């Protein structure tokens, strides 16, 4: 009887996944890629009233890729946590992007700013997916979002892969525990709590809340990312029928400029390592057309690899279901 129960416990999730796939409930996947020279712990927060994703937080080592299937009409946000560790009591925490759960899973908690955010609403108005990368809550790690298989004039790569930690003004900078380097960059709203910077009170409309010198610093480095609350026109993107969104932390540094120091994955800040190859290449705020290619972004072979991985994973699930059913039949 125990063996029967064990087999059924394995079979039911497979059957559920198959049912959701064929019924169209699972519509899109998110593929996470860590190209940083340090470990990143992605955090996930689903919007209220939508089915959650199967995880709310996990670890992603340098060079690792992880794919998550999303239900139709899912909405929420992703971010990367850095400099994470457990204390002697087993409590998990991160220097940047911490969600305060005390565990790797964020379990419904959001990121403590400053944190770079990727925000999604799948199957929204007009059946389109809406997405953006936001620096409204500050910046902690480079992030790029690349839609795969979608269509539309605004269906294009967005993100922020410049080194804003290295370029961060001292009044916004979050320092490492040892005080030697900047590990995150606050928004002006968080740093000064002023209605002018927070787009609140008398500044609570698009007409009254304008870019500041601080938000313009973010915008110049990352022209497609949200730099303040009403930065919609150049920062919101839409896709029809995208099969996957690839979320990449950091970018591949050029071979000739790849840092030779700081290779230890426990060294979580790359502000010094990548400063020579990140921000200057992205200082193209005048180039906001949909053909802009991000330096260090995906090439075609990487996109094809991500697509093949998605197909192979689907085939693997179906094959696993068939094997599980066959094994179950042998018990009766």
Greater model confidence, 177 or 67 = 67
Cα within 13 Å of Cα(157), Cβ side: 19
Percent with pLDDT over 70 in the chain: 68
Q: Could you list the beta-strand ranges (E) of the chain.
A: 26-34, 41-46, 65-71, 75-86, 92-96, 117-121, 129-134, 143-148, 158-160, 173-175, 182-185, 237-239, 244-249
The model's confidence at residue 232, banded by pLDDT at 50, 70 and 90, is confident
Q: Is the peptide bond before 114 cis (omega within 30 degrees of 0)?
A: yes
| Helix (H) / strand (E) containing 16 | helix 2-23
Q: pLDDT tens digits for 26-51?
A: 479 999 999 999 999 999 999 999 99
CB neighbour list of residue 220: distance below 8 Å, 6 or more residues apart = 283, 285
Q: Please state, in angstroms and rounded to a whole number, the distance separating the CA atoms of residues 56 and 44.
A: 5
Q: Does a structural domain hold residue 328?
A: no
Q: Please state, in angstroms and rounded to a whole number, the distance separating the CA atoms of residues 302 and 64.
A: 13
Q: Does a structural domain hold residue 84?
A: yes
Q: Does a structural domain hold residue 9?
A: no
Q: Does a structural domain hold residue 157?
A: yes
Q: Is 216 helix (H, G, I), strand (E, B) or coil?
A: helix
Q: Does a structural domain hold residue 320?
A: no
Return left, alpha or beta for 76; rule: phi > 0 is left, psi -120 to 50 is alpha, else beta: left
* Minimum mean pLDDT range among 81-90, 274-283, 318-327: 274-283
The model's confidence at residue 272, banded by pLDDT at 50, 70 and 90, is very low
Residue 331 has pLDDT above 60, yes or no: no
Our count of domains for the chain comes to 1
Report the mean per-residue pLDDT for the chain.
Answer: 77
Q: Strands 26-34 and 244-249: what pairing?
A: parallel
Q: Does a structural domain hold residue 308?
A: no
> Which residue range(s) make up the domain with 194?
28-298
The residue behind tokens 């999604």 is 120
Q: Does a structural domain hold residue 322?
A: no
204-209 average pLDDT score: 94
Q: Does a structural domain hold residue 315?
A: no
CATH number of the domain where residue 229 is located: 2.60.110.10
pLDDT the model gives residue 22? 43
Greater model confidence, 262 or 183 = 183
Query: Looking at the whole model, is its pTM more than 0.75?
Result: no
Q: Is 105 helix (H, G, I), strand (E, B) or coil?
A: coil
CA torsion sign, 120 to 309 to 146 to 239?
negative
Report the Cα–Cα distance between both ends of the chain, in Å, rounded. Answer: 12
User: Which one, of 247, 249, 66, lies nearest residue 142 by Cα?
Assistant: 249
Residue 227 has pLDDT above 80, yes or no: yes
């Amino acid at each position: 009887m125990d063996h029967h129960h064990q087999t059924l416990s394995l079979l039911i999730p497979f059957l559920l996944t198959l049912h959701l796939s064929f019924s169209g409930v699972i519509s899109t996947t998110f593929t996470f890629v860590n190209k940083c020279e340090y470990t990143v712990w992605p955090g996930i927060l689903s919007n209220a009233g939508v089915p959650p994703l199967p995880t709310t937080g996990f670890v992603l080592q340098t060079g690792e890729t992880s794919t998550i299937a999303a239900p139709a009409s899912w909405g929420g946000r992703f971010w990367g946590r850095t400099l994470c560790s457990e204390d002697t009591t087993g409590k998990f925490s991160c220097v940047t992007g911490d969600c305060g759960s005390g565990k790797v899973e964020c379990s419904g908690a959001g990121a403590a700013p400053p944190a770079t955010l990727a925000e999604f609403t799948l199957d929204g108005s007009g059946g389109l997916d809406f997405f953006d990368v936001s620096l409204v809550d500050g910046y902690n790690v480079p992030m790029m979002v690349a839609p795969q298989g979608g269509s539309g004039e605004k269906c294009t790569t967005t993100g922020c892969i410049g080194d804003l930690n290295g370029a961060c003004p001292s009044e916004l900078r979050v320092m490492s525990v040892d005080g030697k380097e900047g590990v995150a960059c606050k928004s002006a709203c968080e740093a000064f709590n002023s209605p002018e910077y927070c787009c609140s009170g008398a500044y609570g409309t698009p007409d009254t809340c304008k870019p500041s010198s601080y938000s313009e610093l973010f915008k110049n480095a990352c022209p497609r990312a949200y730099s303040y609350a009403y930065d919609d026109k150049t920062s919101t993107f839409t896709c029809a029928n995208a099969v996957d969104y690839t979320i990449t932390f950091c970018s591949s540094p050029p071979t000739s400029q790849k840092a030779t120091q700081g290779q230890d994955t426990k060294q979580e800040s790359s502000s010094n390592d990548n400063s020579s190859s990140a921000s200057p290449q992205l200082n193209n705020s005048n180039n906001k057309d949909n053909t802009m290619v991000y330096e260090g972004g995906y090439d075609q072979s990487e996109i094809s690899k991500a697509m093949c991985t998605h197909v192979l994973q689907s085939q693997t699930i179906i094959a696993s279901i068939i094997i599980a059913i066959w094994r179950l039949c042998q018990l009766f």
